């Protein structure tokens, strides 16, 4: 039996709450709805250069040559299932959840094996209905457009390993994505080469050489700030096509107060940083406070 080693984006997608569907609708009707969901997931996989390895009940396992192919397929799966009126049950749509991880796998007799498969499955188990969850390494392989609409949502430990893994959600929904994408669509207009972030006695520079700056109350953040309104993984700043985006991923939102007095508020959204000013996690920043987060863009 021949086997081949390769690197692919591994995707698991499954129907959320299938047991409840059987209880509500009976075996025949529930099975019909689940089969429809599986067919929708298969079709989206095929349209985006993917290969369905197998289906197991209400779940599919698929592989894609690139992460963008996988995320494009995942977004289409979510959109197509949400658009089908026959998938409404007691006023609520049947939902799916999707997990993805890019890494090495072994292809053998039309099946795949390896740690990447287990990691992708773990991403799916952490997802809620309507979500697409990626590992941090996988997000870094996304195009700038998809990275701009991804937010870090949690940190999880992998079974059998001591290491922790960051989880990112891709905001595939049209209303979420379009509210974030205009800020990068006109990229390169401001020309700033770096942003300096100062907090207490620390200064961090974000430029082409550094991937992102993260802020929140968890110790793994670049800027660690404590407070009852501050989420563990509250917000991040990243460089996308020549613009510095502040991306909020918190419960209470993030405030930006520019030096000219202009205020901005974002929650599960992004804003382009301009000039210099202060950032408030969960509340409006006080420019006079010793522990305020300050930023300045530089050419």
> DSSP for 58-125?
TEEEEEESSHHHHHHHHHHHHHHHHT-GGGEETTEE--EEEEEEEEEEEEETTEEESHHHHHHHHHHH
Q: Residue 188 pLDDT more than 50?
A: no
Q: With left for phi above 0 and alpha for psi between -120 and 50, is residue 275 left, alpha or beta?
A: left
Q: Residue 164 pLDDT more than 70?
A: yes
Q: Residue 184 pLDDT more than 80?
A: no
List the domain boundaries for the chain.
Answer: 3-180, 186-298
* Class at the top of the CATH hierarchy for domain 3-180: alpha beta
Please tell me the pTM assigned to this model: 0.61
**How many angstroms separate the CA atoms of 69 and 295, rounded?**
35
**How many angstroms separate the CA atoms of 219 and 294, rounded?**
19
Q: Residue 4 pLDDT more than 50?
A: yes
Cα-flanking dihedrals φ and ψ of residue 112, to 5°? -130, 150
**Is the pLDDT higher at 242 or at 43?**
43
Q: Residue 211 pLDDT more than 90?
A: no
Q: Residue 181 pLDDT more than 80?
A: no
Q: DSSP string spanning 192-220? A: --EEEEEETTEEEEESTT--EEEEESSTT
**How many angstroms separate the CA atoms of 98 and 78, rounded?**
9
Q: Does domain 186-298 have CATH number 2.60.200.20?
A: yes
Residues in CB range of 111: below 8 A, 6 or more apart: 53, 54
pLDDT at 207: 87
Distance from the Cα of residue 253 to its chain's centroid: 17
Please tell me what DSSP assigns to residue 283.
Answer: S
Band (25; pLDDT cuts 50, 70, 90): very high
Residues in CB range of 222: below 8 A, 6 or more apart: 197, 204, 212, 213, 214, 215
Mean pLDDT over all residues of the chain? 88
């Amino acid at each position: 039996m021949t086997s081949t080693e390769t690197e692919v984006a591994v995707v698991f997608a499954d129907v959320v709450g299938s047991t409840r569907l059987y209880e509500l609708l009976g075996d025949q009707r529930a099975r019909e709805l689940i089969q429809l969901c599986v067919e929708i997931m298969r079709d989206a996989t095929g349209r985006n250069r993917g290969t369905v390895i197998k289906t197991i009940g209400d779940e599919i396992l698929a592989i894609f040559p690139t992460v963008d192919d996988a995320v494009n397929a995942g977004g289409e799966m979510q959109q197509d299932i949400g658009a089908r009126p026959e998938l409404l049950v007691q006023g609520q749509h049947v939902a799916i959840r999707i997990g993805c991880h890019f890494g090495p796998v072994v292809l053998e007799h039309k099946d795949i094996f390896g740690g990447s498969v287990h990691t992708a499955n773990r991403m799916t188990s952490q997802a809620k209905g309507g979500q697409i969850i990626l590992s941090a390494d996988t997000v870094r392989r996304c195009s700038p457009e998809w990275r701009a609409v991804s937010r870090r949502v949690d940190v999880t430990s992998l079974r059998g390993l001591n290491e922790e893994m960051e989880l990112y959600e891709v905001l595939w929904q049209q209303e979420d994505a379009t509210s974030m994408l205009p800020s990068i669509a006109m990229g390169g207009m401001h020309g700033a080469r770096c942003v300096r972030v100062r907090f207490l006695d620390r200064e961090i520079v974000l430029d082409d050489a550094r991937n992102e700056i993260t802020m929140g109350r968890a110790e793994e953040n670049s800027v660690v700030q404590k407070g009852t309104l501050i989420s563990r993984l509250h917000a991040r700043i990243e460089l996308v096509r020549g613009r510095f985006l502040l991306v909020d991923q918190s419960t209470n939102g993030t405030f930006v107060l520019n030096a000219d007095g202009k205020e901005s508020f974002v929650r599960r959204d992004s804003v382009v940083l301009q000039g210099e000013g202060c950032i408030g996690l969960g509340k409006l920043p006080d420019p006079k406070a010793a522990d305020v987060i300050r930023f300045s863009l530089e050419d």
